[in-house]
């Protein structure tokens, strides 16, 4: 696995799709490929209220990537330093093996370039000390990016605050 995490807090996500468009804009992608996708599920009725869940799907940057294994031209590579799985466009022959192999649909087709494309966590931005495009422009900070051994405890804090609120205001 890469040394990074990219977490989504569905509770804070508003489904505005700034992530998807920021990604495509940053990578100058044409109509078609989406390197990250924020899928919404719902609304469904939960305790008489409409609720929608969001599932953010970039690339998981697997430890042993299916896409890398099947790539016949060596275009899909893994960065030694941080484990980011990326496509070297000059080596991609457009065979689409990676698109077939990836169980999560992370590998996409760029019809303009006639090559495969995928999320690389915006490695050029990371190298400049910045965060991925999707995370940078997220409206509600529902997307969080960082180094996995320093995972944030936001959800635990929120849960603790909720418990405390309920305890202080039993009628709530």
Partner 1 sequence: MDGNKAPNVKGVDSPGRRTVYSLCGMCAVRCPIQVEVQDGRVVWIQGNPNDKTMGTSLCAKGAAAIAFENDDERPQYPLIRTGARGGGQWRRASWDEALDYIAEKLQGVIDKFGGKGIAFSDRGGPFADLQKTFVKSLGSPNYFNHDCTCGRNAQHASQSLFGMGRKGLGMDIKNTKHLVLYGRNMIESLQVKEVKDFMDALGKGAKCTYIDVRATLTASKASRFWMIRPNTEYALNLAFIHVVLAENLYDADFVKKWVVGLDELRESVKETTPEWAEKMTGVPAGEIKAAIREIAADRPNVIFHLGWMTARHRQSFYTSRTAHILNALMGNIEQTGGLIIAKGTGDYGLKGLNKLDQRAPKVEDPRVDGVGTKFKHFDKGPGLMHLLFPAILSGEPYPMGAYIAYRHDPLTSLPDPDVMKQALDKLDLIVSIDVNYSETAWYADVILPEATFLERGSIIAEKKGAKPNLQLRDQCISPRFDSRPAWWIFREILRRLGKSEPLEFETLEDIWAYQLEGTDVSLEELRSKGVLGLVSKEERRDRDTGLGFKTASGKVEMISPALDEAGLPSLAPFYDPPANEPGQFNLVFGRVAYHNHAHTMNNPLLNELMSENALWINKATGGELGIGDGDTIEVKSNGYSTKGKVRLTEFIHPEAAFMVHGFGRTVPLQTRTYGKGMADQRLMKGKLTSYDPAGGGNCLTETVISVKKA
CA angle, 86 as apex, 81 and 88 as ends, to 5°? 110
Is 25 or 100 the residue whose CB approaches partner 1 more closely? 25
DSSP the chain: --SEEEEE-TTT-----HHHHHHHHHTT--SS--SSEEEEEEEEEETTEEEEEEEEE-----SS-HHHHH-SSS-EEE-TTT--EEE-TTT-----HHHHH-TT---EEETTTTEEE---TTHHHHHTTPPPHHHHH-SSS-EEEEEGGG---HHHHHHHHHHHHHHH-TT-
Shortest Cβ 137–partner 1 spacing (Å): 5
Shortest Cβ 31–partner 1 spacing (Å): 5
Is 37 or 118 the residue whose CB approaches partner 1 more closely? 37
Shortest Cβ 163–partner 1 spacing (Å): 11
What whole-number distance in Å separates Cα of residue 133 and Cα of residue 124? 11
Q: What would you report as the CA-atom Rg of the chain, rounded to the nearest whole angstrom?
A: 18
Shortest Cβ 128–partner 1 spacing (Å): 11
Is 2 or 38 the residue whose CB approaches partner 1 more closely? 38
Is 90 or 169 the residue whose CB approaches partner 1 more closely? 169
Shortest Cβ 160–partner 1 spacing (Å): 12
Interacting residue ranges for partner 1, rule: CB under 8 A: 11-12, 14-18, 20-22, 24-26, 30-32, 42-43, 45, 49-52, 136-140, 158, 161-162, 165
């Amino acid at each position: 696995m890469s040394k990074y995490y990219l977490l989504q807090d569905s509770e804070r996500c508003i489904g505005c799709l700034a992530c998807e468009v920021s990604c495509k804009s940053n990578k100058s992608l044409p109509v078609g490929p989406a390197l990250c996708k924020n899928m919404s599920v719902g609304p469904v009725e939960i305790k008489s209220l409409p609720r929608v869940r969001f599932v953010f799907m970039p690339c998981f940057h697997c430890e042993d990537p299916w896409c890398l294994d099947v790539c016949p031209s060596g275009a899909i590579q893994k960065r030694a330093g941080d484990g980011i799985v990326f496509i070297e466009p000059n080596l991609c022959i457009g065979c689409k093996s990676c698109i077939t192999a990836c169980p999560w649909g992370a590998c996409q087709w760029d019809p303009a370039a006639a090559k495969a494309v995928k999320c690389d966590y915006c490695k050029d931005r990371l190298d400049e000390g910045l965060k991925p495009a999707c995370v940078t422009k997220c409206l509600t900070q529902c997307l969080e990016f960082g180094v996995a051994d320093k995972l944030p405890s936001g959800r635990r804090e929120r849960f603790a605050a909720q418990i405390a609120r309920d305890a202080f205001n039993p009628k709530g």
